[in-house]
Amino acid sequence: MRTPPRNTGFQHPYSSEITPKAVYEDRRQMLKRMAGGAAGAAIAAWAGRQAMAQQVTRPGKLAALASTKSAVAGAVTMEKLTDYKDASTYNNFYEFGTDKADPARNAHTLKTTPWTVEVEGLIKKPGKYGIEDLLKLSVQEERIYRLRCVEGWSMVIPWVGYSLAELIKRVEPMGSAKYVEFVTLADKATMPYVGSRVLDWPYVEGLRMDEAMHPLTLLAFGMYGEVLPNQNGAPVRLVVPWKYGFKSAKSIVKIRFVEKEPGTAWNKAAQQEYGFYSNVNPNVDHPRWSQATERRIGEDGLFAKKRKTLMFNGYEAQVGQLYAGMDLKKFY
């Protein structure tokens, strides 16, 4: 994609630079000089609000990623957002370490440009998509989703992206494609813990085709109005809000359409603990702890009462029909 001249103030979403503040300040001062009296005061107030909005929507000072409101049912929860600092420093991303603080500390080594996602398997239109192509494939939407970790903690995060179904429709899956497999980058040069014995690398996740096609299943490129931080799965990740967080593959480099259920990273590591479906279910405990309650990061103190976990993480009305007739204790 051709980058416009610098004097336009254009900021490519994956540039390492930040749009010069002087461009914005010059425009604000110009507006303040345009008129005096009440009109001038109104314009000055407007400029102030715009400056404040810019600060609020760019909490991590990464490149801004514009989005529209989503009309997808269930796509916007009204719960209080988790603070950006918590969401970007309390992470599971084992390619960068097993401690919650490791990804934020170590993921600066990840190179997110250039970036290509290969789409292959049982589809009529296989191909390779640069991150620039994926960014403009469909309109970016803000989706405010609950995130529930299998470990018993949760967050509320405003993501930016579009339904994975938009990409799936473009590649035209064959009738024999029953599952979608997602493969994460496994680069020892930029991911210091790849090669450790914790998991079988590369990290692989998968969804049944109807799960992948559900409008809530998100291909995400940003959060909090900015591009994704490296530790949160830059430059492109999956977000499946009714499943435990580990089902949402990060830093995706390959999407494969297959006939048989793919072997996934945590399922292969401990099948009795991490089933293929891994739907949030307060009635099915992890072998080592209850899943009936959760701790909301940033809100609940160490001794505060935990909140009850909702079936399908609160998305039962939207996705419950996908599992009609299934034994959810057997297909955990």
In tens, the pLDDT along 238-253 reads: 999 999 999 999 999 9
Q: Which of 16-30, 132-146, 175-189 has the least mean pLDDT?
A: 16-30
Q: What is the pTM of this model?
A: 0.83
Q: What average pLDDT does the chain have?
A: 86
pLDDT for 133 = 97
Residue 49 has pLDDT above 90, yes or no: no
pLDDT digits (tens, 9 = 90+) for 88-114: 999 999 999 999 999 999 999 999 999
Among candidate residues 120, 18, 143, the one with its CA nearest the CA of residue 68: 143
User: Does the pLDDT of residue 43 top 70, yes or no?
Assistant: no
Give residue 299's pLDDT band: very low, low, confident or very high (50, 70, 90).
Answer: confident
Asked whether the predicted pLDDT for residue 36 surpasses 80, the reply is: no
Q: Kindly give the pairing relationship between strand 153-163 and strand 293-296.
A: parallel
> Of all helices (H) and strands (E), which one includes residue 84?
helix 84-89
Transcribe 247-286 into DSSP letters.
Answer: GS--SEEEEEEESSPPP-HHHHH-TTTS-SS-B--TTS-B
Query: Quick one: how far is CA 134 from the chain centroid?
Result: 14
pLDDT value at residue 292: 98
Indicate the pLDDT class of residue 3, thresholds 50, 70 and 90: very low
